[in-house]
Amino acid sequence: MPRKLLLPYKSVFSHFRAPRGLHDALAMNAARNGTRFYKTCPVMSTQNITEVPRGRLGAELGKSVVYQETNGETRVEIKESVRGQDIFIIQTIPRDVNTAVMELLIMAYALKTSCARNIIGVIPYFPYSKQSKMRKRGSIVCKLLASMLAKAGLTHIITMDLHQKEIQGFFSFPVDNLRASPFLLQYIQEEIPDYRNAVIVAKSPDAAKRAQSYAERLRLGLAVIHGEAQCTEQDMDDGRHSPPMVKNATVHPGLELPLMMAKEKPPITVVGDVGGRIAIIVDDIIDDVESFVAAAEILKERGAYKIFVMATHGLLSADAPRLIEESSIDEVVVTNTVPHEVQKLQCPKIKTVDISLILSEAIRRIHNGESMAYLFRNITVDD
């Protein structure tokens, strides 16, 4: 059956370009399967997306339009038949997350109502993944988004480094959660001089498993920052004592619950030796950088002479570039799952690792009906 690759509005192709492996694979099938790319409207990027399929794949762009009306509503129109075809929607999430989500939902639904056979979403950074647990009297928004995507018509998702692996259970269709760790490990080995004198650091006990996985693969030491400086949302008062407890309240005679002792964090401690070494802090998302900056200051005080921060998704919100530039951090290394060229112009310490190779290989394998096992070789749960 014919397959098409659809690129939605504001997908930044310069950040998510498919390498030659995907071009060759899809070009081989272009004549047989009628493979074509879609664009929705002109994309503001350094590379003209309309020329890529024509020049490197030998395939013309499909015809579709996405635009916002004067009242702010998003409209999608598919300008040719997609009946019985497999469609790939590649969506990188820009700064305006909610608009990008709505465009993705409306486009998927437009393809569904146009009788597309399968609609596969390629979403390198899955939005709202931090809201995957119940907080206070809030909601699990990530579960809501998963349900909305299924209702809109998506039948499969390819993503990378979900904030919690359990998020895959929110979906009623297959999810391929790829890993960026092989690319970040390769960067450490090739771009950090004397990396053998480094130590992998978890900036909180929550990140210890990921840091341990990196340390074991690189045969390096491990350090964990623990103490009162680590203030997490789990420790906040969640309001479940309201209405306020009444003194001398009558208690059921048979109900005597054990009293829970209040938490008291110990003084700030670095578990592990970082003196005279390169400290490499690893995490999955770097958004608000205050905690990373504070961790870097602590490591500097403990004798680390160079500090790197490595993460898969570089959201780098608000004043992150300025704070990084003014901090003790020597380099921040992130992948291109999220566009961040503006932040790189503001802070030369930010470096990018290209992970489009594994995403394009995943697309190729799904396109050809091949197994995805090769992409997960030697991958553990903690990666």
* CATH 3.40.50.2020 residue spans of the chain: 22-178, 182-229+266-353
Which stretches within 153-279 are classed as H helix? 181-191, 208-218
d(CA 342, CA 155): 33
Range from 69-78, 102-111, 357-366 carrying the lowest mean pLDDT: 357-366
Phi-psi region for residue 153, left (φ > 0), alpha (ψ -120 to 50) or beta?
Answer: left
pLDDT of residue 33: 55
Q: What are 100-124's pLDDT values in tens digits?
A: 899 999 999 999 999 988 898 989 9
DSSP secondary structure letter of residue 196: G
Range from 38-52, 153-167, 194-208, 360-374 carrying the lowest mean pLDDT: 38-52
Q: What is the mean pLDDT of residues 249-270?
A: 73
Residues 6+ apart with CB under 8 A from 127: 93, 97, 100, 101, 145
Domain at 182-229+266-353, CATH from 3.40.50.2000, 3.40.50.2020, 3.40.50.300, 3.60.40.10: 3.40.50.2020
SS3 25: helix
pLDDT of residue 251: 59
More confident residue, 29 or 155: 155
d(CA 349, CA 327): 10
Tokens of 106: 């409306």
Is omega for the bond preceding 243 within 30 degrees of 0, making it cis? Answer: yes
Phi/psi for 131 (5° steps) reads: -95, 60
More confident residue, 53 or 243: 243
10 Å CB burial of residue 207 (0-12, 13-18, 19+) is middle
Q: What are 218-242's pLDDT values in tens digits?
A: 999 999 998 765 445 454 454 544 5
Q: Which CATH architecture has domain 22-178?
A: 3-Layer(aba) Sandwich (3.40)
d(CA 318, CA 293): 14
